[in-house]
Each structure stands twice: as C-alpha cells, then as structure tokens.
Amino acid sequence: MLGVVPASLFFVFLSKIPVVGRGDAFKEVYPWLSELGIGLSFNLDGLSLFFALLVTGVGALIMIYAGYYMRSYQKTNRFFGYLVFFMAGMLGLVTASDWITLFMFWEFTSISSFMLIGFKHEKTAAREAALQALLITGVGGLALLAGLIMMSLPYHSFSFEAVISDPQPFLQSSLFVPATILIMIGAFTKSAIFPFHFWLPGAMQAPSPVSAFLHSATMVKAGIYLLARLHPVMESQELWIYTLSVFGVVTMFVGAWFALAQQDLKKILAYTTVSALGTMVLLIGTSTAYSVTAALVFLLVHAFYKATLFMMAGNIEKITGTRDMNQLGQLNRYMPVATVISLLALLSMSGIPPMIGFIGKELMYEAKLNAPAAGNFILLTGFLANAFTVFVSLRFAYGVFWGEKQGFKKQPHEPDVSLLAGPAVLVFISLLLGIFPNQIAGLLGPAFQSILPGETLIKLKLWHGFNEILLLSFLTVLLGVVMFFCRKAIIRIVSYLNGNYFNLKLSQRFFAGIDVFLNLTKRKTAVVQHGYHRFYLMTIFIAAALLLILTMPAIDFQFDFDLKFNGLAFFAMLAAIMIIAGSIAVVVAQSRLVALIATGFVGIGITIVFVLYSGVDLAITMVMVETLTVVLGAMVVYHLPKYLNYSGVGSRIRDGFVAVFFGFVMGFLALQTSKPTTITKISDYFVENSYTKAFGENIVNVILVDFRALDTLGEIVVLALAAIGIVSLLKLNAQKKSSR
Amino acid sequence: MKTEILKIAAAHLKPFLLILSLVVLYRGHNEPGGGFIAGLLAGMAYVIYAGAFGVGKAKQLRLVKPMFFMGLGIGIALFSGMIGLMNGADSIFTGIWTTLTLGGFSLKLGTPLLFDLGVYLTVAGMLVKVIFTVMEEDV
C-alpha cells in the first residue's frame, strides 16, 4: 500500500519531463539562515529529475516487493518508517539546490542506511556492518561539509547557482585543492569507491529490499550525483579529472576482481556494484560527450538490472533458505518465471543485446576509445572488468538455475506474484529501452545538459554497425565464456591469490583502528572521569573561580563595601545568622543526617533572603528544591555506612581552602553586581516588554516561557534525559545486585 | 514510617496539591508561580503519597505514568512553539493569545501558557520517575 506514495510522485515527476526539457525549471525556495547565505531551496533541473524518477520509480516497486517480503519479520512498521524516511532524504538530496540543504539530506540517507543495515540488530554481524557503514559515510559526510563550506566561502552564498554559474572565484581561491579533495572524499565514501568500498559488501546484512534499493539503485549513487553536479565547475581541472579517473579505474577493476570468486549471491552483486560505481566515476572524470552519455545510460541500466537481481537474490534466499551458490542449483525446474526474469537481468548486466545493458556497454567502450588520457590502459582495464562481469553473470545463472541438483530442505516453488512484479517491470523496461533506446533521450538530454553544458547527448541506438566497438563487445563475451569453462581453475586461483596476497582486510583493519581509538579514549576517560565525586566538585569550584578571576579585569570595579541594611535589617540579619550557623554545623557535624539537615537549614536561610528581597518565585522554587534535596539525601544516607571521619587533617585544610576561596570569589562578584553600571542590560528590555508584548506581569515567567522559550525547551529536554539516565543507572545497579 | 496519620494526610493532600499546582501553573504568568514550581508541587503530591503508602501502591495510581508525561510535556512545549509559525509568525515560539469566555468567566489563554503546561508535565514526570526509582532501591 505504501507503494502508492512513491508511485504517484513518480508520475508527478514524469509529467515534468517536457517542462524540464524546455528549460524552465521548477523552483522552491524557503528562506532559512539567510544571514549565512543558507537557504532551504530546491530546484528541479534535468539531473535532479533523472535521479528523482529513479528514486521514486524504483522506490514504488521496492515498496510493493518489501510489503510481501517483510511479512516474516518483526517490527515491519519500523522498517517501512526507515524506508520512507530514506526515500524522502534521497529525494531531498537530488532536488536540493543549496549545498547545506544537500548536505542535510545527505546525512538523512546515511542515518537511514544505518538503521536499515542494522535492522536485524540481534545479529552482531548486522550491527557491526551498520556501524561500519555509518562511520565511513559519516566521516565522508563531515569531509563533504567542510569541502562545501570551503567552496562556498568566496560567494557568501551556498546556492548551487553561485558556484556553477561563475566558478572562477572558487577555482582561483587558495582553498581550491583542499576543498576539492574533501568533496571527493565525501562522494567516494558514499559511493563505495576504493579504498572506502568495503562497507558496501558488509551492508549486505540488510534485508534484500534494502540492498536492492539503497545499496544498488539509489543511495550509493548519491556520490555519483554529487560528482555529476559539480562537474561543470571542475571539468577543466586536472586534479579533478585525474583523481576521478584513477580511483574510478581502480575501483572498477578491484570490484570486478573480488566478485569473481564469491559464493554468496548478494556479495557477488555487491562487488559488481562496487565495480559499476567505479565505472561511473571514471566516465564522469573522462568528461567527453560520449563518456557522460555513457555514465547516464549506465547509471540507469545498472539501477534496473541490479535492483532486479537483488530482489531475485532475496526471493531465492526466502524460498530455499540460502544464498550460497554451492548449495543452490536446478532452480529453473521449480521457478521458471523467476528464472526468465533473472536471466534477462543477467543479460543486461553482461551487456548482451537486445537489453539496454548492451547499449550501456557499447557507449562505455566508445567513451574509453575516445578517452583523452591513458586511453589504452583504461580500455584494457575496462575490457577485463567487463569480461569478469560476464563471467560472474554466467556463474550466477548456471550455479543457481542449472548446475548440480541440491537437496533442498523445503521444496522450492515459484515466488509470490508481488515478489516478482517489481523485478518483472524493471526487466521489461530494460528490454523495451534496449529496443527503442531513444525513448529516454527526452529524459537524459536535460540531465546531460546539467553535467556538460554546451555539448549534446549522443544519440542512442542498439545497432552501431560492424566496427571495433562491436568487436570489443564480442571479445568481452568470448573471454567471459572462456573463463566460465575453466571456472574451477579460475576460482581456485583467485581464491588463492585473494587469500594470500590481495587480502587487504580493510574491514578488519577498520575495526582494529576503532578498537585502538576506543582504548585511547578509555584511558583518557579513566583519568578525567575518576569517579570521586568530591574531586569533581573541587574541579568545578576551582575552575569556576579561576575563570571568574580571569574575566574580572574586564569589569570596572569599585571597591567600596558600603552595605546598607535598610528596614529589613533585622530579618536579614536573622537569615544571615541562620545561614552561617547552618554552614558551621555542616562542617562540624559528626553524623551524615545532621549534616544533611544543616544543609537544609542553610537553604531555608537563603530562601528567607529571597523572600525579603522580593524574589518570591525563586523562594518557592528554593523551598521545594531544598526539601527534595533533604528527602532524597535522607534516603541515600540511610544506606551509607555510619559517619566516620575519614578525611585527615591535610585534606580537610585543602577542602577548606578551596571552599573559602570559591566563597570569596562568588561573594565578591555578588557585591559587584549590585553596583550601578553603564552597560545596558538585557533585563531592561524584558522589563519594558514583558507586559506590552508578552502580556505577562511575572517577568521571570515571561522570560522562561516566551522570550527564552527555546532555552527552556532545551532545559526540560535535559531534565527528561537526566531522569532517564538516573533511572537506567539505578536499574542497572539493581540488576547487578540481583545477578550476584 | 507508614503511620496512619501520614496516610490520611497524604491521601487528602494529593488532590489538594494537584489542584493547587494547576492554580500555580495558571497564575504564573502574572504572579509568582509557573510551570516549574507547579510541576514540583504536583510531583511532590505523589512523592508524599509514595512515602506514606509505599512506592508499589503509588505506582498503581491512575496518573502515575511519568515517562508518558515527560514525553507529552516536551511534545506540548514543542507544539506550542509551532502554533506561532503556523499563524504566520517569523520565528518559532512567537506567542499567540486569545481570550476564552465561558459563562461569566473569561480565561486568557495563549501559547506561552501551553508551553508552561509542557514544562509542568515534564518536571512533574521527572520528579516522580526519579524519586520513585530511588525509593524502590530502598525497599
């Protein structure tokens, strides 16, 4: 049912295609922090529309799929909450037209990805994978924020328009290099580019709809989106072009290589996704009309087949209870429809006509042939990566649907219709677009213009004639097939190499690094948070007093202690005596209870002072707080051992010194505040406007609930948090006791 | 500690303190009072009750749902800030006032009062939650 929302949004966006094509974009701007040049603004241009359609279209299909898939899970409403939250974040990300807005939505997607990867949080592996993904994308997000701020500094505005319409101030600024590197780190972490790629295979702990949606079709494309968005600014910069090309090529190859010998269906798909993301980065970095067209087409193609395959992998796991290729086989007998759908998607992945994947691959080869720098090397690597993909597709198809028959625990059967609907639609579109590719030119054209303004989209066709590109495609498939026939040897060799030489263990190293960091912080915490309440208090008092003394030279002091006891003198003296007597009693008391009551006595004395000097509000609150303190204290004292004079003379003198010192500083300050000053006080504003603007005579209350309501809100939130903290600490203690 | 005198006093004090706390809450805007004090008062009503009858009994009272009230309080406070925004104010927490006339009485109501109600509920909830937990520890 939830699928209705993204589906209707999809049609809304679909109706915008002609509008965007004409060039008058759809705009929404809300003023936000206009003093800082930040606006909550959205703009639907070609590139945004392209991604928005992808998010809502695939999203609708995933929702239908997940609706059935998640039935066997607990807490599915929470799952769908996260999923919708993610979708909203992703839509915001691709339609934002302000860097800070974009960043905000960027983080939304990271957080929802964390929640979704860790959805099966009872499993340690899921929790670790979620944490790893969050930390990596989170660090990348921070780098991105810093980079975006550096980039926008010369403009005093965070809007896309400022930097895209006039890149020169940024390109010439001294922050260009750090800003570009930071932004690229942000994009690379999000899009799982080497060396940050390892979180993506880990993210396969998520339920299959999540892998299909976030980790193949949409979220990991956010980095690609950002690179494409910034491309018009950076296209002539060598730093940009070379970095993207190098990291793109490496990722493309590394991903394909690690996909070769995997046994887990979802891991295979994850590594080919890494490879595909690398390819997209490379294509954007190559920066020709061919390569950008190829990037867009490939992005679409990849989203279609990869989402399909992830959904099918989920189906297979659901029905057979495993996604290990060694335990699967002969499924074509039990699920013919699912077999056909998967095969078509795999054809698209291998780039075989008539699927649109073929067009994507042709364009890629064309782009690589025309690549300006290091063309041959890129071509060769791309050729190998593609051949690996063909090999992996063949293995997938053969190992799952044919191959050796396995004894299944349950009799496999065709998946439910709603589990097949989404994949079927995607595959059907892939096929249709493969035959009539120019149907999407209306969509790709404006997107292309956003990335490479001034050039035009390459015309898409299924048949290019007999040329070197077709030959390359043929050779790719041939190599893949040959590799398939010697698969046993290849898998053995690759596993051996991976196990002994190429095992980067990035994931383990990552966690080892985290452990080192945690140990450091533990040690630091042990020093600062020693657990002795009296030393905490002492630290607070001394620090406060010293800081106050430091600020004192800034104030114009008058040293005349001319105290007037007018009228109220008698009661004031009485209160003062009460306070002093109470204080002395606390110090000399021989039992805790007496000391506690004496503290209460001091409190009541202060309350009387408040009453005398017309601070009735304070007085009422003080009475309550003092009473509560004594009551609570009495409860605690009941459990403590009898009062024994533990502290020696030395520490008593030290404590006394600290107390007297702090008391003097505070007393001195209190005396100074009563002096007339020339500084305009904010309190005057409150006094003047309390009744006229806020309609309240009780100024303290008006400040609390009206002028400074946000502060108060913060305070009550802290109160609630403190309550939860205290309760959980006490309950924890109780549990420990009972378990002992 | 569970004397009959305290029990009777606590049982009778509870409604009295609760009503008093509401009065204090309402008059807070013009005279001494307000959400914080009123919240402490309301919380105290239950703390005294728990002191007399024991936490177990006090926990069974209908209104003792401190976590719920803390959440509700923060929610109300936040919501009161939004009302101004919805009525076209520039910033969050802009006060909106109306006068409600019921029979012969006219009651001045406004979003700051609603905000104070949020403070009241949160403070009362916090007090009850913390003290009840501490008292449970004792038993």
pLDDT tens for residues A10-65?
877 777 777 766 555 677 788 777 777 787 888 888 888 889 888 988 988 888 88
- CB spacing of B77 vs A716 below 8 angstroms: yes
- CB spacing of A695 vs B37 below 8 angstroms: no
Q: What is the pLDDT of residue B58?
A: 80
**Measured between CB atoms, which of A624, A716, A733 is closest to B44?**
A624
The string of pLDDT tens digits covering residues A106-158 is: 999 999 999 999 888 888 888 888 888 899 999 999 999 999 999 988 888 88
Cα-to-chain-centroid distance, residue B46: 11
Of A183, A191, A101, which Cα lies nearest the Cα of A143?
A183
Identify the residue with better confidence: A677 or A441. Answer: A441
**Measured between CB atoms, which of A627, A701, A716 is closest to B34?**
A701
- CB spacing of A702 vs B130 below 8 angstroms: no
A694 contacts on B by Cβ (under 8 Å): 95, 112
Q: Mean pLDDT over residues B102-118, rounded? A: 70
Q: How confident is the model at residue A677 (pLDDT cuts 50, 70, 90)?
A: low
Q: What is the pLDDT of residue A222?
A: 92
Q: Is B109 helix (H, G, I), strand (E, B) or coil?
A: strand
A625 contacts on B by Cβ (under 8 Å): 40
Beta strands A26-33; A38-44: pairing state = antiparallel
Distance in angstroms (rounded) separating the CA atoms of residues A627 and B99: 37
Cα-to-chain-centroid distance, residue A721: 24
Distance in angstroms (rounded) separating the CA atoms of residues A214 and A486: 34
Identify the residue with better confidence: A686 or B39. Answer: B39
Cα-to-chain-centroid distance, residue A134: 6
Do A220 and A360 lie in one domain? The reply is no
Distance in angstroms (rounded) separating the CA atoms of residues A598 and A587: 9
Amino acid (1-letter code) at residue A261: A
- CB spacing of B130 vs A717 below 8 angstroms: no
Of A713, A469, A314, which Cα lies nearest the Cα of B35?
A713
Alpha helices in A118-237 (DSSP H): 124-152, 160-165, 168-172, 176-190, 199-202, 208-212, 222-234
Give one DSSP letter per residue of A263-297, joined into a string.
-BHHHHHHHHHHHHHHHHHHHHHH-SHHHHHHHHH
Chain B residue with minimum CA distance to A728: B133
User: How close A154 gets to chain B, by Cα (Å)?
Assistant: 29
Do A260 and A407 lie in one domain? The reply is yes
- CB spacing of A697 vs B29 below 8 angstroms: yes
B117 contacts on A by Cβ (under 8 Å): none
Question: What 8-state DSSP symbol labels residue B134?
Answer: H
Do A356 and A435 lie in one domain? The reply is yes
Chain A residue with minimum CA distance to B48: A631
Of A303, A319, A558, A296, which Cα lies nearest the Cα of A450?
A296
Q: Which of residues 48-77 of B touch A (CB under 8 A)?
A: 66, 70-71, 73-74, 77
Of A154, A273, A132, A260, which Cα lies nearest the Cα of A205?
A132
User: Which of A610, A689, A716 has the highest number of chain B CBs within 10 A, making it the mutation to test binding with B?
Assistant: A716
A388 assigned to some structural domain? yes
Do A160 and A265 lie in one domain? The reply is no
Identify the residue with better confidence: A685 or A728. Answer: A728
Chain B residue with minimum CA distance to A611: B32
Q: Mean pLDDT over residues B123-132, rounded? A: 87
Do A188 and A257 lie in one domain? The reply is no
- CB spacing of B34 vs A717 below 8 angstroms: no
Q: What is the pLDDT of residue A277?
A: 93
Do A227 and A256 lie in one domain? The reply is no
A705 contacts on B by Cβ (under 8 Å): 29, 34-35, 112-113, 115-116, 119
Q: How confident is the model at residue A612 (pLDDT cuts 50, 70, 90)?
A: confident
Each domain of chain B, given as residue ranges in start order, spans 4-138
Contact of A68 with A29, CB cutoff 8 Å: no
Residue A631 has pLDDT above 80, yes or no: no
A533 assigned to some structural domain? no
Contact of A112 with A86, CB cutoff 8 Å: yes
Q: Is A41 helix (H, G, I), strand (E, B) or coil?
A: strand
Do A223 and A265 lie in one domain? The reply is no
Distance in angstroms (rounded) separating the CA atoms of residues A453 and A494: 43
Specify burial of residue A516 (Cβ count, 10 A radius: 0-12, 13-18, 19+): exposed
- CB spacing of A716 vs B138 below 8 angstroms: no
The string of pLDDT tens digits covering residues A514-551 is: 889 888 988 888 888 777 877 888 888 889 888 888 87
Q: Mean pLDDT over residues A69-81, rounded? A: 85
Contacts of A195 by beta carbon, 8 Å cutoff, 6+ apart: A504, A506
User: How close B24 gets to chain A, by Cα (Å)?
Assistant: 11
- Looking at A455, A485, A515, the residue that finishes a domain is A485
User: How close B121 gets to chain A, by Cα (Å)?
Assistant: 10
Q: Which of residues 75-114 of B touch A (CB under 8 A)?
A: 77-78, 80-81, 92-93, 95, 97, 108, 110, 112-113
The residue written with tokens 């939830």 in the block is A2
Residue A502 has pLDDT above 80, yes or no: no
Contact of A294 with A371, CB cutoff 8 Å: no
Chain B residue with minimum CA distance to A637: B138
Q: Which region among A245-249, A430-434, B80-84, B132-136 has the lowest average model confidence (pLDDT)?
A: B80-84
Residue A679 has pLDDT above 70, yes or no: no
The string of pLDDT tens digits covering residues A207-251 is: 888 888 888 888 899 999 999 999 888 888 888 988 998 899 999
**What is the tally of structural domains in chain A?**
4
**Measured between CB atoms, which of B30, B36, B122 is closest to A696?**
B30
Specify burial of residue A65 (Cβ count, 10 A radius: 0-12, 13-18, 19+): buried
Residue B44 has pLDDT above 70, yes or no: yes
Do A222 and A243 lie in one domain? The reply is no
Do A223 and A258 lie in one domain? The reply is no
Do A162 and A266 lie in one domain? The reply is no
Q: What is the pLDDT of residue A274?
A: 93
Distance in angstroms (rounded) separating the CA atoms of residues A195 and A492: 25
**Interface pTM, i.e. ipTM:** 0.80
Distance in angstroms (rounded) separating the CA atoms of residues A574 and A349: 90
A653 assigned to some structural domain? no
Q: How confident is the model at residue A492 (pLDDT cuts 50, 70, 90)?
A: confident
The string of pLDDT tens digits covering residues B23-40 is: 888 877 667 677 888 888
Cα-to-chain-centroid distance, residue A533: 37
Q: What is the pLDDT of residue A281?
A: 92
Distance in angstroms (rounded) separating the CA atoms of residues A398 and A403: 6
**Measured between CB atoms, which of A636, A716, A723 is closest to B118?**
A716
- Looking at A423, A450, A485, the residue that finishes a domain is A485
Number of residues that make up chain A: 740
Residue A395 has pLDDT above 80, yes or no: yes
Chain A residues within 8 A (CB-CB) of chain B? Answer: 616-617, 620-621, 624-625, 627-628, 631-632, 635-636, 638-639, 694-698, 700-702, 704-706, 709-710, 712-713, 716-717, 719-720, 722-723, 726-727, 730-731, 733-734
Amino acid (1-letter code) at residue A633: G
Mean pLDDT over each residue of chain B, to the nearest integer: 78
Cα dist from A172 to A179, A231, A446, B91, B107, whole Å? 12, 16, 29, 38, 64
Cα-to-chain-centroid distance, residue A35: 26
Residue A87 has pLDDT above 60, yes or no: yes
User: How close A683 gets to chain B, by Cα (Å)?
Assistant: 17
Mean pLDDT over each residue of chain A, to the nearest integer: 82
User: Which of B21, B26, B37 has the highest number of chain A CBs within 10 A, making it the mutation to test binding with A?
Assistant: B37
- Looking at A616, A646, A676, the residue that finishes a domain is A646
Half-sphere exposure of residue B91, counting CA atoms within 13 Å on the CB side?
7
- E strands, A399-503, in order: none
The residue written with tokens 């190098």 in the block is A246
Distance in angstroms (rounded) separating the CA atoms of residues B18 and B33: 14
Distance in angstroms (rounded) separating the CA atoms of residues A592 and A587: 11
The answer to whether B47 contacts chain A (CB < 8 Å) is: yes
Tokens encoding A185: 């780190």
A599 assigned to some structural domain? yes
Specify burial of residue A10 (Cβ count, 10 A radius: 0-12, 13-18, 19+): buried
Do A275 and A216 lie in one domain? The reply is no
Amino acid (1-letter code) at residue A253: F
A60 assigned to some structural domain? yes
* Structural domain of A130: 9-234
Tokens encoding A188: 């690379």
A700 contacts on B by Cβ (under 8 Å): 34
Q: What is the pLDDT of residue A495?
A: 82
- CB spacing of A628 vs B40 below 8 angstroms: yes
Q: What is the pLDDT of residue B11?
A: 85
- Whether the bond between A209 and the residue before it is cis, its omega within 30 degrees of 0, is no
Give one DSSP letter per residue of A75-141, joined into a string.
-HHHHHHHHHHHHHHHHHHHHB-BHHHHHHHHHHHHHHHHHHHTTSTTSHHHHHHHHHHHHHHHHHH
Q: What is the pLDDT of residue A503?
A: 67
Cα-to-chain-centroid distance, residue A567: 64
User: How close A703 gets to chain B, by Cα (Å)?
Assistant: 10
Distance in angstroms (rounded) separating the CA atoms of residues B21 and B35: 9
Of A483, A313, A318, A479, which Cα lies nearest the Cα of A400?
A313
The answer to whether B134 contacts chain A (CB < 8 Å) is: yes
Identify the residue with better confidence: B97 or A458. Answer: A458
The answer to whether B33 contacts chain A (CB < 8 Å) is: yes
Distance in angstroms (rounded) separating the CA atoms of residues A476 and A358: 12
**How crowded is residue B104: how many other Cβ atoms within 10 Å of its Cβ?**
5
Distance in angstroms (rounded) separating the CA atoms of residues A546 and A164: 51
Angle of helix A356-369 relative to helix A336-350, nearest 10 degrees?
10
Pick from A352-361, A408-417, A633-642, A698-707 the range whose average pLDDT is largest: A352-361
Contact of A515 with A132, CB cutoff 8 Å: no
- CB spacing of A638 vs B66 below 8 angstroms: no
User: Which of B119, B136, B139 has the highest number of chain A CBs within 10 A, making it the mutation to test binding with A?
Assistant: B119
**Measured between CB atoms, which of A627, A702, A713 is closest to B77?**
A713
Q: What is the pLDDT of residue A367?
A: 81
- CB spacing of A734 vs B95 below 8 angstroms: no
| Percent of chain A's residues with pLDDT above 90 | 13
Could you tell me how many helices (H) and strands (E) chain B has, helices first? 5, 2
Do A266 and A307 lie in one domain? The reply is yes
Give one DSSP letter per residue of A535-588, joined into a string.
HHHHHHHHHHHHHHHHHGGGS-----------S-HHHHHHHHHHHHHHHHHHHH
